[in-house]
Amino acid sequence: MTERVVLLVNGPNLNLLGTRQPEVYGATTLAEIEAAVAALAAEFGLAVRAVQSNHEGVLIDAIHAARGECAGIIINPGAYSHTSIAIRDALSSVDLPVVEVHLSNIHAREEFRHHSFVSAVAEAVIAGAGPAGYEYAVRHLAAKFA
Ligand code: DQA
């Protein structure tokens, strides 16, 4: 059987992880997160396609490209969580299991972060677990595919 691929999507400003507000987002870089996700996914026989962009349309294109090519999506939409109906519609359109991840606990922060347009189309939402949240997301998908 062909190896299942998981799409890992990180939205705007997450390229700056490690130096961006470390008191909120921690010291781990995005490259380290992507490497940890790939290593854990490999233990379950899953490959990872990692995409980060600061541009909404690029994120949407990556989600569309997952259709027929990926088995599931792990996404931290960053601030687009709170604004983007277009990203939510893209996720709905590809009909794949989605896990939404936030490093910080968005519910314990400013009011405008409490609502995510993506959450209603996600199977699972993980917020506040830091980088480990991405690993929990891998485990969720791996358990589904087992
Ligand atoms: C975030 C939370 C968002 O509110 C914020 O805009 C981000 C990161 C998180 O991972 O905690 O960019 O998604």
Q: Is the CB of 88 under 6 A from ligand 1?
A: no
CA distances to 22, 64, 107, 111 from 102, in Å = 14, 22, 10, 15
* C-beta 84 within 6 A of ligand 1: no
Cβ contacts of 77 within 8 Å, gap of 6 or more: 9, 11, 59, 84, 87, 100, 116, 118
Take atom 13 of ligand 1 and give the residue whose Cα is closest: 78
- Above 80 in pLDDT, residue 1? no
pLDDT at 41: 98
pLDDT reported for residue 20? 87
What is the CA(108)–ligand 1 centre distance, in A? 12
Range 4-144 has CATH code 3.40.50.9100: yes
Q: Is the pLDDT of residue 47 over 90?
A: yes
Enzyme catalytic residues: 25, 102
Contact (Cβ atoms closer than 8 angstroms) between residue 73 and residue 63 = yes
47: how many CB neighbours lie within 10 A of its CB?
A: 14
How confident is residue 79, by pLDDT bands cut at 50, 70 and 90? very high
- pLDDT band for position 115 (50/70/90)? very high
Section 65-75 average pLDDT: 98
Indicate the pLDDT class of residue 3, thresholds 50, 70 and 90: confident
- pLDDT interval class at 132 (50, 70, 90): very high
For 92-103, the pLDDT digits (tens) are 999 999 999 999
How confident is the model at residue 121, as a pLDDT? 98
Ligand 1: residue whose CA is nearest its atom 6: 79
Element containing residue 77 per DSSP (H, E): none
Radius of gyration of the chain from Cα atoms? Answer: 14
Tokens 């991840």 — which residue?
A: 101
Q: CB of 130 closer than 6 A to ligand 1?
A: no
